[in-house]
Amino acid sequence: MTPPKIKVRDGRIGIVNAFARTPFRFGVVTLEAAASATLALDVTVDGVTATGYASDLLAYKWFDKRPEKTPADNVADLLWAIDEALAVARGLPAAALFDLWREIDRTLDRRGPEVGFNRLGASFGVSMVERAMIDALGRAAGRPFFDLVAGNALGLRPGDVFPELVAMQVAEALPDRPLSRLALRHTVGLVDPLDDDDTGAGTGDGLPGTLADYIAEDGLRYLKIKVGGDMAADLDRLARIAALIEAAPHPIAVTLDGNEQYGSLDAFAALCEAMRTRPDIAPLHEAILFVEQPLERSVALAGPLDPAALAVVGKPLLIDEADGWTTAYSEAIGLGYRGVSHKNCKGVIRSLLNQSLAWHRNGGSREGEHFLSAEDLTCLPVVSLQADLAVVAALGIGHVERNGHHYFHGLDHLPAGEADAALAAHPGLYRRDGGSVFLAIEDGGLDVSSLQVPGLGFTPLPDLATRTAPADWSFDSLTRHVPADAARRSEP
């Protein structure tokens, strides 16, 4: 088919604060509150007016971990990236979505470093505009995301980015139909309570408070375990987690996330060797599927990975934070990496291209040594979470890291009407408990069958009138105390 032509007209951003029910430490920061930004994008699709939406957490100290940048600086940079991508998009003539994305992506990739931001953070702004365009296109065409990609309504030309893919269509790398169920890979953060012996094990809100609780109540089959770079502390914690896995009524597979905490692969290999040689941790090492970004991004792609150190690690490595530009995965493969993380915040088209590259490198197969994983950057319902799950289902990735459902209290960051509408439209994905709506986890997984709706996976639309414009929002609003027993935890 001839891809529809899209013209971006205008966009509006609204912010809502979300306060964590329990602290979340990843890498260099412990997050207790964050702002979630929603973009409403007005476009015309072949002359027909449509509005699309994208939403994501303005996650500080992940996109840019430089110590001279404060969390407030980080958020300001992310808002700049959205504004800049929107300004570029508005200035482009009507074209296929892929052609618009290419120009926005190239421009932001250049401008980010010019203003002191980095390429990964700049791509966040691209991804927000890109997702809103995809959503608007799907709504105008009355087609869900999977159908848009399968029919190439996005106008994707993978050979323009990776010349070796010149003869293929992205649809070749996708399953015949989107997955209707995804296994949940539960995040184990660096300060998460593991059992009742830990401080903070009881949250008092009726939800599971410890990893042991989550294993028992959610029937988890997968864990994502974060390690912090302190070998003694990591080994002690891994031993406790290994004991919980051993006591579980069913097998549990795991992934490790280094969150850039290692300066060399040898240092991380030493941890793996210690895990392998300790009888109480060795079964956990055996259960590892892959390792996510152990090396700090400035060295992760600096040169080939040492084969001897890779052999000691004994598991495939993937890039996450180092995936800061469109061709990063191709470059990483040449250095010895095998995988790359999918995150909507880095870009949907980037993941579709990376999936195509992995398929090609695997000899035209979705199975093989090259792969995409599905990772989370605290995707909160409705728009962010469901858009990400819709893409994961289309990519055919069977298990997905999720963390927003246990670090935040359900859909309480949203107006009650939006939470109720989400439950009504997606009754298999959500459940009600008391006055709140929560993600519905059954037997360790999520029912995502309801996400095949026009657009990018969500039916109830966000109301930007209930959110705060960036000019009226301040980072200091995240530091306000919110009582633990507050009926709702959102603040405009």
Give me the residues paired with residue 26 across strands: 29
Q: Could you say which DSSP state residue 330 is in?
A: H
Token pair 């809502």 in the structure block, residue: 16
How much is the pLDDT for 205? 81
Distance between start and end Cα atoms, the chain: 43
Spatial CA neighbour of 88 closest among 58, 136, 135, 130: 130
Q: What is the 3-state secondary structure (H, E, C) of 103-135?
A: HHHHHHHHHHHHCCCCHHHHHHHHHHHHHHHHH
How far, in Å, CA of 408 to CA of 22, rounded? 7
Decide: 292 and 375 in contact? Cβ < 8 Å. Answer: yes
At 85, is the secondary structure helix, strand, or coil? helix
Q: Would you say how long the chain is, in residues? A: 492
Neighbours of 20 (CB within 10 A): 19
Token pair 């195509």 in the structure block, residue: 356
How far, in Å, CA of 389 to CA of 344, rounded? 9
How much is the pLDDT for 201? 67
Alpha helices in 219-361 (DSSP H): 231-247, 265-277, 282-286, 297-300, 307-313, 328-335, 348-361
| CA dist list (Å): 127 to 228, 341, 484 | 29, 15, 34
At 404, is the secondary structure helix, strand, or coil? helix
Read off the amino acid at residue 183.
Answer: A
282, HSE (Cβ side, Cα atoms, 13 Å): 5
How much is the pLDDT for 24? 87
Token pair 């051993």 in the structure block, residue: 246
Walk along the chain (492 residues) and give the pLDDT tens digit of each residue.
699 999 999 999 999 999 999 888 877 788 899 999 999 999 999 999 999 999 999 999 999 999 999 999 999 999 999 999 999 999 999 999 999 999 999 999 999 999 999 999 999 999 999 999 999 999 999 999 999 999 999 999 999 999 999 999 999 999 999 999 999 999 999 999 999 988 766 667 888 999 999 999 999 999 999 999 999 999 999 999 999 999 999 999 999 999 999 999 999 999 999 999 999 999 999 999 999 999 999 999 999 999 999 999 999 999 999 999 999 999 999 999 999 999 999 999 999 999 999 999 999 999 999 999 999 989 999 999 999 999 999 999 999 999 988 899 999 999 999 999 999 999 999 999 999 999 999 999 999 999 999 999 999 999 999 999 999 999 999 986 443 333 333 343
Decide: 305 and 335 in contact? Cβ < 8 Å. Answer: yes
Distance of CA 163 to the CA centre of its chain: 27
E strand spans, 317-442: 317-319, 339-342, 371-374, 399-402, 430-433, 436-439
How far, in Å, CA of 409 to CA of 413, rounded? 8
Backbone angles phi, psi at 39, to 5 degrees: -110, 125
Tokens of 1: 């088919």
How far, in Å, CA of 158 to CA of 174, rounded? 14
Q: In which order are the strands placed within the sheet that holds 490-491?
A: 48-57, 29-45, 6-26, 490-491
How much is the pLDDT for 28? 78
Give me the residues paired with residue 85 across strands: none
Q: Using omega within 30 degrees of 0 as the cis cutoff, is the peptide bond preceding 115 cis?
A: no
Neighbours of 9 (CB within 10 A): 14
How far, in Å, CA of 465 to CA of 300, rounded? 43
What Rg, from alpha-carbon coordinates, does the chain have?
Answer: 21
How much is the pLDDT for 283? 98
DSSP code per residue over 421-473: HHHHH-TTTEEEETTEEEE--BTTEEE-GGG-STBTS--SPP-GGGSB-GGG-
